[in-house]
């Protein structure tokens, strides 16, 4: 495997005189002068030779000087370039040229199609190969959207050798085959990896904080709404959101931590421990001496995931009052005004009760400590809301069907990024079943039979897609049946789907309906199956009840045919 690195120029070392006795035996003055002159001559020649080599090796193939490895912040955009020494074994050197938009590579089958050409994405020149396997070639970044709605575009890196394009699979978004690419226009390199743009899975903060990467989110780096919080000795500057902007769709408004990679893209991180661990109640002693027993969430729910990595707010201390302390003695606050926007927003908008039940009074609601604020080690004021008042939105009843070509022992792991709320069978670090070709599943540990594997939970960053269809209530059943057939679901699978979802779509006269496909489901809840299936089709429906129809932009459904060992999964956003 080729390992690519950028190796910065090495400065000429300054000679360091050894310590200790430099004159072990007595010498004459002339002899000492001769030794000193010889040393000076040797040093001068060495420096001159070093300078000559450094100058020549720092020039590119066109004879122009490369830029030393450094990060420069200019006009809201960081750019990095680097030079390197001659090749060492299989390592190659790259000159990063920043992020420069260039004409399309013309490999998307969507280009030129009315109404959908905007889903082609953009193309950027990001680097030059100065040596090795692809010496003299351009390194190009291309963004593109999968077939159907998407939360984020995919990011794909190509080597351009004259008229030839080579997709670097290890440095591109997964499931590239799900995108509308003309596969006759490029080849695929499945071995080469550019290690310098592979971000670390975790980064340690200055006070020992562990930042974990969201490997499904990326974006062209921008300093908008970011502030520098620390600098890592190995990876460079790390930024975070200045304040979460509620209606923004920008990745940089989501309260994460952002690292700029050498090619101009972004690696995104979040903290999932300590006060940010949503699986346990925060260790707080309230001002009245009581110990907290409630669970709180530091993110804002959205669909079957979260709108942000942390709900960062901007409140003046005069608007807050201390209501308790953490186990480490830090203050936690609540709004000093009980009619504060954050209280009202939870009670009026988020707090829901089952049909036939009444809400508790507003005064009782305030007394339950529905929210608090805490300042983290990076100086961010984070909002925490009691999970008992959060919307019920989650990935509702995704079910997984397994159809091997012969009875097979199958291991299944699904990992919604924010955890499960329910599974059947019980999820013990994964499911292990004997699967028959007709879809019958037998759990290995219990011997119980199941028609499918069932889970509910919350995925990663989620935003309701804008593409979809507005459907009259009377037509919903026919519409769902037709679309699920386009996704190649069987009659039994469609009947299972309608049994669960159709009763939930009868209240309003209209519904906006859309579907996220396999690539997007893989972002929200990665799925790992052993042995590896031949065909995987995953569908998540999202719908919005409407009093009146709204304009909508439909799309063409395109999925692979069912063949070989097939895995089918359907689910929906439960609100």
State pLDDT tens for residues 234-268. Answer: 999 999 998 877 667 788 988 999 999 999 999 99
For the chain, the domains span: 70-197, 202-271, 275-389, 394-574
What pLDDT, on the 0 to 100 scale, is given for residue 149? 76
58: pLDDT strictly greater than 80 = no
Instruction: Report, as an integer, the average pLDDT of 112-137.
Output: 82
Q: Lowest-pLDDT range, 23-32, 349-358, 391-400?
A: 23-32
Whether the CA torsion 57, 60, 63, 66 is positive or negative: it is: negative
Instruction: Report, as an integer, the average pLDDT of 358-377.
Output: 95
| Band (300; pLDDT cuts 50, 70, 90) | confident
Q: What is the pLDDT of residues 484-501, one digit of tens each?
A: 999 999 999 999 999 999
Per-residue tokens: 491: 């009659």
| Band (91; pLDDT cuts 50, 70, 90) | low
What pLDDT, on the 0 to 100 scale, is given for residue 5? 37
Instruction: Report, as an integer, the average pLDDT of 163-172.
Output: 94
Residue with tokens 């989620």: 462
Could you tell me the pTM of the whole model? 0.72
85: pLDDT strictly greater than 60 = no
3-state SS string for 516-558: ECHHHHHHHCCEEEECCCCEEEEEEEEEEEECCCCCCECCCCC
- Distances 133 to 91, 127, 151, 195 between C-alpha atoms, Å: 9, 15, 35, 15
Q: How far apart are CA 58 and CA 61, in angstroms?
A: 10
- Distances 132 to 39, 60, 88, 226, 249 between C-alpha atoms, Å: 39, 14, 10, 37, 40
| Band (526; pLDDT cuts 50, 70, 90) | confident
Q: How far apart are CA 465 and CA 549, in angstroms?
A: 17
| Band (199; pLDDT cuts 50, 70, 90) | very high
Mean pLDDT of the chain, nearest integer: 81
What pLDDT, on the 0 to 100 scale, is given for residue 391? 63
Instruction: Report, as an integer, the average pLDDT of 497-507.
Output: 91
202: pLDDT strictly greater than 80 = yes
Strand 266-271 and strand 257-260: the pairing is: antiparallel
61: pLDDT strictly greater than 60 = no
């Amino acid at each position: 495997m080729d390992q690519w690195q950028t190796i910065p120029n090495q400065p000429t070392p300054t000679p360091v005189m050894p310590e200790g006795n430099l004159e072990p035996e007595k010498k004459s003055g002339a002899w000492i002068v001769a030794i000193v002159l010889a040393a000076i001559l040797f040093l001068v020649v060495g420096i001159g030779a070093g300078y000559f080599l450094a100058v020549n090796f720092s020039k590119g193939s066109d004879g122009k000087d490369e830029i030393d490895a450094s990060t420069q912040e200019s006009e809201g955009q960081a750019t990095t370039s680097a030079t390197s020494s001659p090749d060492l074994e299989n390592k190659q050197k790259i000159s990063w040229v920043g992020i420069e938009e260039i004409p399309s590579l013309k490999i998307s089958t969507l280009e030129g199609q009315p109404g959908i050409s905007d889903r082609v994405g953009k193309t950027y020149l990001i680097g030059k190969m100065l040596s090795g396997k692809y010496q003299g070639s351009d390194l190009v970044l291309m963004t593109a959207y999968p077939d159907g709605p998407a939360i984020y575009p995919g990011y794909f890196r190509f080597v351009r050798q004259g008229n030839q394009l080579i997709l670097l699979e290890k440095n591109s978004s997964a499931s590239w085959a799900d995108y509308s690419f003309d596969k006759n226009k490029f080849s695929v390199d499945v071995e080469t990896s550019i290690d310098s743009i592979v971000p670390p899975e975790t980064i340690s903060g200055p006070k020992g904080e562990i930042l974990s990467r969201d490997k499904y989110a990326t974006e062209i780096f921008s300093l908008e709404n970011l502030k520098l919080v620390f600098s890592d000795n190995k990876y460079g500057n790390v930024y975070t959101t200045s304040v979460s902007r509620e209606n923004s769709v920008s990745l940089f408004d989501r309260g994460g931590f952002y690292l700029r990679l050498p090619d101009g893209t972004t690696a995104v991180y979040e903290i999932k421990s300590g006060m940010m661990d949503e699986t346990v109640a925060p260790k707080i002693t309230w001002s009245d001496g009581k110990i907290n027993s409630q669970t709180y969430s530091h993110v804002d729910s959205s669909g079957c995931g979260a709108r942000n990595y942390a709900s960062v707010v901007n409140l003046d201390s005069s608007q807050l009052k201390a209501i308790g302390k953490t186990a480490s003695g830090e203050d936690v606050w609540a709004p000093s005004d009980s009619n504060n926007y954050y209280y009202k927003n939870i009670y009026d908008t988020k707090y829901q009760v089952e049909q036939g039940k009444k809400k508790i009074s507003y005064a009782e609601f305030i007394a339950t400590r529905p929210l608090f604020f805490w300042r983290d080690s990076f100086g961010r004021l984070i909002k925490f809301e009691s999970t008992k008042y959060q919307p019920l939105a989650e990935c509702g009843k995704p079910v997984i069907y397994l159809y091997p070509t012969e009875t097979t022992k199958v291991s299944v792991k699904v990992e919604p990024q924010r955890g499960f709320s329910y599974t059947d069978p019980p999820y013990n670090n994964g499911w292990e079943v004997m699967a028959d070709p007709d879809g019958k599943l037998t759990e290995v540990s219990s011997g119980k039979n199941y028609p499918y594997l069932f889970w509910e939970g919350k995925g990663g960053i989620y935003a309701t897609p804008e593409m979809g269809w507005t459907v009259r209530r009377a037509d919903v059943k026919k519409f769902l049946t037709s679309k699920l057939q386009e996704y190649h679901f069987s009659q039994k699978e469609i009947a299972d789907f309608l049994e669960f979802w159709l009763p939930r779509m009868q209240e309003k006269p209209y519904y906006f309906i859309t579907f996220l496909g396999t690539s997007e489901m893989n972002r929200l809840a990665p799925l790992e199956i052993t042995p590896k299936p031949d065909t995987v089709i995953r569908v998540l429906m999202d719908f919005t009840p409407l009093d009146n129809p709204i304009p909508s932009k439909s799309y063409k459904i395109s999925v692979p045919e069912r063949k070989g060992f097939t895995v089918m999964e359907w689910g929906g956003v439960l609100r």
